[in-house]
Amino acid sequence: MTMTDVNKTVSNADSSVTLGQKVPVTTRLNAPEFVTNRALLRWISDIVVLTKPENIHWCDGSDAEWTALTAELVTGGVLIPLNSELRPGSFLARSDPDDVARVEDRTFICSVNEADAGPTNNWRDPDSMNAELKVLFDGSMRGRTLYVVPFSMGPFGGPISQVGIQITDSPYAVLNMRIMTRMGFDALAQIDDKTPWVPAVHSVGQPLVDESGLRIADSAWPSNSTKYICHFPETREIWSYGSGYGGNALLSKKCFALRIGSYMGLQEGWLAEHMLILKLTSPEGKAYHVAAAFPSACGKTNLAMLRPTVPGWKAETIGDDIAWLRPDADGRLRAINPEAGFFGVAPGTGEITNPVAMSTVWGNTIFTNVALTDDNDVWWEGMTEKTPSHLIDWRGEDWTPDSGRPAAHPNSRFTVPIQQCPTLADDWFESAGVPLDAIIFGGRRATNVPLVAEAFSWQHGVFIGATVSSEKTAAAEGTVGELRRDPFAMLPFCGYNMADYWGHWLALGEKMGANAPKIFQVNWFRKDDDGSFMWPGFGENSRVLEWIARRVDDEAHATIGAVGLVPSQGSLNVEGLDLNDEVLGKLFEVNEKLWLDECDLTEEFFDQFGDRLPSELTTELADLRGRLSA
C-alpha cells in the first residue's frame, strides 16, 4: 500500500467515537488528530484490511471508556459485577475451560536463525510462521470491534521506558491492559516520527470452518492446536491468536516485557527480567533496593509485599513480577517496574500468607476464574481459614466442600492497579528507576541449597542464576530428586538463546565493575527428615534480607563456604525463633556427595548449549567441584 493510499484510508476525525459506533473501515481509521507517525498508521491500516473488523475504537484510557466497556460486557454476560459494598468497582470473569493458562508448547520464537532461539525455546521460521498467521488472521475480527491500545511500559518518557501498540478484538484484554499498563492517549502521544514502538496483534480468532463454510466441531476451537503466541525478535513484533487468557492476550506482559524486551536489552545494553523489586529501609533510615528472581510457586509476590518481623525495618513494594534494569551514566544498575498493576495468582493468597495483597484487592479489581459467594463476593482456596458452605465455582456450577474439586481454578487471577497497594513505595514513580544494591535468586529446594549465600563475584552470581532450579518431587529420602531447571526464572520468557543471555549478563557485570550489585541465593523451602519446613518463612524472611543489607555495607560477618559466603555464627538474627543450633546448622548444611551429583546434572544441562555456553560458567562449575572436593 502506498502512502497516498494510506492517506486516503486514514481520517483524523474526532476520536470521541462511542463504543460500538460503526466505522466504515475501508474508508477511515478514525485516528486521533495528534497521531502523525505514518508507519504506525500504515501498520494499523494493514491490520484492519487483514482482520476485517466491523468497528474501530482507539482507546483513550479514560474513566468514561472503562465505564462503557464494563457496562457492555456486563450486558453481554462476560463480566459479573460483584457486591458494591464488599468489593466496589469489581467484576468476575470466567474463561473457556480450555483457555486458562499460558500455552508454552504453542509459544514460538521466530528468529531468522534457529540457533539464535536456542534449545530452550520453540523455534519457527519467520517466513513460514507469517504465512500461517496471515491465514488465521484473515477475517479473524469480522463482526467485532478492533481496539487500538497504546501503552507505555514504565513512566512516560523515562530513560528505561518503552512504548507499544496492541491491536485486539478482546474488550476483556483492553480492560486488563488499562490496569496493567499506562494505557491511553497519553501513551499514544509519546510516539512521534522518531519514536520506536513495539507492534502487537491479538485476536481471539474465529471458529474453524470447512470448505463449505460450515463450522468444524466445537472441540476444534479454541484448542491448543489453533493457539499461536509468536514473537519475532528482529522486527520486535508480537502476534497472538486463539486465546483470551491473560498471559496470552495481555501482550504487554510476558510477550513484550520479557520475550521481546530481553532481546531489545541484548541489542541496547540493558536487561528485562522476571524479578520483583523491593525497597528496604533500616532502623537507621538507610534505603536499600533489591531485585529478586524466583520461579513460580517460590514466594515472589509474598516477598514483594513483605511485612518484616525484624523491629525497625520497613519494606515497600515497587514490583512483584517484572523488572527492567539499565546501567546509568555512573555505572549503577537502575531498575524500574514497567507495569502499573498486579496480575496475581489468587489461590494461596490470604490474610495469613499475604495480607498486603488482600488489602490491595479491596475494589477496582477484575477477578478471573475464581469462585462466587452467595453474597456476590469472590473466594478461592487459601483465601480464608473457613471454607464457605456453598459457592458457584469457576465454571459457573454449584459447589460445596464435598464436591471433590477446586472451587477456583488453580491458575485463577486478580488484576488490580498497583497504586492500591498499601506498601507501594514512592520509588515506583521514579522515571529513572532505583539503584540496585542486591540481586537475589531462589528456587524451591528441599535439600542442598542453604538458606542464604552470597556469591563470591558477579561471575559466580551469574552461575548461581544460571543453575536456579526446583525439585519436582519431595527429597525427604535424601536424594537430589529430579530438578526443574529455570535459570534466572526466565526459562519460558527469554526471547533468544539462553547461553547468549548469560553472556549478556557477564558482559554487563564487567561493564559495571565495582558498581555492580551484590548477588545472593536464598532457599526458604529446606525440609528436615520428616518433610517439614525448617525455616518459618513469610515475614521472617526479613531476617535474611537484614543480613543481605548488612552485607551490602560490609557490616555483617560471613564465612567462606563451598557454595558461597554464608552467615558467620551469630551474624544472622534468629532471636525469638524456635530454631536450635542443630536446625540452624541443617539450614546451611552442604552435602558433598549430593552437590557433586548436582554438578553432574548441571554439566548435562549446560551441554545442550554447545559452544555458545560462556566459558566463565564452565570455569565456575569446575571451581565448585574443587571447593566441594576440598
Q: Of 59, 110, 298, 421, which residue is the catalytic one?
A: 298
Q: Is there a binding annotation on residue 246?
A: yes
Exposure string for 152-186, b = 16+ CB within 10 A, e = fewer: bbbbeebebbbbbbbbbbbbbbbbbbbbbbbbbbe
User: What is 134-164 written as a DSSP string?
Assistant: HHHHTTTTTTSEEEEEEEEESSTT-TT-EEE
Q: Is there a binding annotation on residue 622?
A: no
Q: Is there a binding annotation on residue 314?
A: no
Cβ contacts of 553 within 8 Å, gap of 6 or more: 286
Q: Is there a binding annotation on residue 538?
A: yes
The residue with cell 536456579 is 468
Is 59 designated active site? Answer: no
Q: Is there a binding annotation on residue 469?
A: no
Whole-angstrom Cα distance, residue 153 to residue 107?
22
Are residues 234 and 112 in contact, defined by beta-carbon separation less than 8 angstroms?
yes
Whole-angstrom Cα distance, residue 300 to residue 309?
18
Q: Is there a binding annotation on residue 532?
A: no
Q: All 3 cell numbers of residue 61?
A: 484510557
Q: Is there a binding annotation on residue 447?
A: no
Whole-angstrom Cα distance, residue 437 to residue 548?
10
Preceding omega of 492 cis (within 30 degrees of 0): no
Q: Is there a binding annotation on residue 411?
A: yes
Q: Is there a binding annotation on residue 351?
A: no
Q: Is there a binding annotation on residue 348?
A: no
Q: Is there a binding annotation on residue 245?
A: yes
Q: Is there a binding annotation on residue 298?
A: yes
In single-letter form, the type of residue at position 315 comes to A
Beta bridge partners of 80: 92
Q: Is there a binding annotation on residue 472?
A: no
Alpha helices, DSSP H, located in 189-260: 246-249
Q: Is there a binding annotation on residue 299?
A: yes
Q: Is there a binding annotation on residue 279?
A: no
Q: Which helix (H) or strand (E) element contains residue 229?
A: strand 228-232
* Three-state secondary structure of 272-287: EECCEEEEEECCCCCE
Q: Is there a binding annotation on residue 261?
A: no
Q: Considering only CA atoms, which of 397, 411, 211 is closest in space to residue 297? A: 411
Q: Is there a binding annotation on residue 396?
A: no
Q: Is there a binding annotation on residue 158?
A: no
What are all long-range contacts of 615-624, with beta carbons under 8 Å and residues at least 24 apart? 616/459, 616/462, 616/463, 616/506, 617/462, 617/463, 617/466, 617/502, 619/459, 620/459, 620/460, 620/462, 620/463, 621/463, 623/460, 624/463, 624/562, 624/563, 624/595, 624/599
Whole-angstrom Cα distance, residue 283 to residue 618?
41
Q: Is there a binding annotation on residue 274?
A: yes
Are residues 233 and 116 in contact, defined by beta-carbon separation less than 8 angstroms?
yes
The residue with cell 488490580 is 416
Q: Is there a binding annotation on residue 302?
A: yes
Binding annotation for substrate: 102, 245-247, 296, 411-413
Where in the sequence numbering do the catalytic residues fall? 298
Q: Residues annotated as binding site for Mn(2+)?
A: 254, 274, 321
Binding region for GTP = 297-302, 413, 444, 538-541
Extract the annotated binding site: 102, 245-247, 254, 274, 296-302, 321, 411-413, 444, 538-541
